[in-house]
Amino acid sequence: MTTKTGNLQHIAIIMDGNGRWAKKRGLLRSVGHKKGAETVKEITRAAGEMGVKYLTLYAFSTENWQRPAEEVETLMGLLREYLKSDLKELQENGVRIIFIGERSMLPADIVESMSKLEEETAGNDKMTLCIALSYGSRQEIVQAARKIAALAKQGDIDPEEVDAKMFAGLLYTKDIPDPDLVIRTSGEQRVSNYLLWQIAYAEFYFTDVLWPDFDRKCLEDIIKNFNARERRYGKI
Ligand code: IPE
Ligand code: IPE
Ligand code: MG
């Protein structure tokens, strides 16, 4: 029997622990990232089959640019492979893919592949897979504030008109609902600049499992845990 997703429309995951997974086995960090990329495919498949409508995966943060050049290269290489290899499966499973983050910091060929994949899957409606790439939530919020300031300066809007709806409409995530559930693997209990605006009423689940070891069963168990929670939104 598959786990029912109930009111769970959108799951956002902080995929952490690739490096530690490799270290534990005396392997290079790059091996952990490679295994982590396989987990991405497995979890995308599982989430789709379980009826999750939106899955957002934190693949690379703006802060991750500060890692050693060699590691950044490995991650960009894996990303290139992923972008090339996955179209067929995404199409077969009705997955629409979108990317959120600061594209100008990414290599031009990757940006091109991202746009192509977005266009080619735009008509799919079973699940939306949103990949956060070169993503930083504070930067996202700041650029929205900048746009609003510019519109006000030009006289296109009155500052009194600015509300949460307008603000949300200027974020990278404007076309998708807020996450219901945020999962972070690897035992860390922090948000690391992920979807700060969007997680206002999200439920959190922190697991010690390292991302390369995360599987369908882990996801099912977390969804069951989510389904037993009561969300109140400030009401009684
Ligand atoms: C997550 O694994 C992948 C990225 C952040 C790109 P890490 O590389 O952060 O692995 P740890 O946290 O060092 O184990
Ligand atoms: C968060 O993981 C970013 C991604 C999973 C892409 P990090 O490993 O970069 O986060 P910190 O540095 O432990 O906060
Ligand atoms: Mg980490």
Is 64 assigned a catalytic role? yes
Say what the pLDDT of residue 1 is.
47
CA dihedral sign, ordered 151, 154, 156, 157: positive
Q: Is the CB of 17 under 6 A from ligand 1?
A: yes
Q: pLDDT digit string (tens) for 29-73?
A: 999 999 999 999 999 999 999 999 999 999 999 999 999 999 999
Say what the pLDDT of residue 2 is.
59
Q: Which DSSP helix (H) or strand (E) runs through 88?
A: helix 87-92
Q: pLDDT digit string (tens) for 208-222?
A: 999 999 999 999 999
- Give the closest ligand to the alpha carbon of residue 39: 1
Residue identified by tokens 């600049």 is 193
Rounded CA gap, 159 and 225, in Å? Answer: 42
The partner residues of 96 in beta bridges, in order of sequence, read 128
The ranges of the chain with pLDDT < 50 are 1
Quote the pTM value.
0.97
The three-state secondary structure class of 203 is strand
Rounded CA gap, 64 and 32, in Å? Answer: 16
The three-state secondary structure class of 78 is helix
State phi, psi for 124 to the nearest 5 degrees.
Answer: -80, 140
Is 125 assigned a catalytic role? no
